[in-house]
Amino acid sequence: MTSLRVLEGALLVLLVVTVALKVSVMGAPIGEPHDPEAGVAAFLKEHGFESIVHPGEDDPRVFQATRADCRVLTSIVAPRGWHRDVIRQLAEDYDRLFYVFRGSIYPEQPVFLTWTDHYWTRIKRSFGLRASESPAVAVILSSGCAPHETPWSGITETH
């Protein structure tokens, strides 16, 4: 009988703590949502690229930019890797494809990292915490681009 009372008491404490936690974060400000597409456009302009095109409602949206003989396509890709095949098809006429996530450059989309970041951000937001998702950006370069001429690892930073 005593163990039943202890269990009831523990459940009551757990209930009070979880309700208090939910009530305390209900009014917490989430903050302004970060617009990763605006950040990509700002990065490209900041590094001398012109003729940035942002066509319609395509999925994924693709930025096209040029600087001298360098042609670049960039796109913010889905965290679960859904856009990988589309990006590979776009890259067929180009020289180099890589992905940027959290300031690091990867030859393939780091799906596990982008997926976990996406869901971790959603969990934090569900508790009312300030959290912005880290975008994964596909970068496709033509043969006229010198890859080390532009600090591509900064394309996902807030501008």
First to last CA, the chain: 63
Backbone angles phi, psi at 22, to 5 degrees: -65, -40
> For 113-125, what is each residue's pLDDT tens digit?
999 999 999 999 8
pLDDT exceeds cutoff 70 at 4:
yes
Model confidence at 31, pLDDT cuts 50, 70, 90, reads very low
Three-state DSSP state, 84 = helix
- Residue 79 in 3-state DSSP? coil
Query: Domain coordinates of the chain in residue numbers?
Result: 30-154
Q: What is the per-residue pLDDT across 63-102, written as a single tens digit (0 to 9) for each?
A: 899 998 999 999 999 999 999 898 998 898 888 999 999 9
> Above 60 in pLDDT, residue 32?
no
Burial readout 121-142 (b: 16 or more C-beta within 10 A, e: otherwise)? beeeeeebeebbbbbbbbbbbe
User: Which pTM does this prediction carry?
Assistant: 0.75
Higher local confidence (pLDDT), 18 or 91: 91
Provide the β-strand partners of residue 50.
66
Whole-number CA gyration radius for the chain: 22
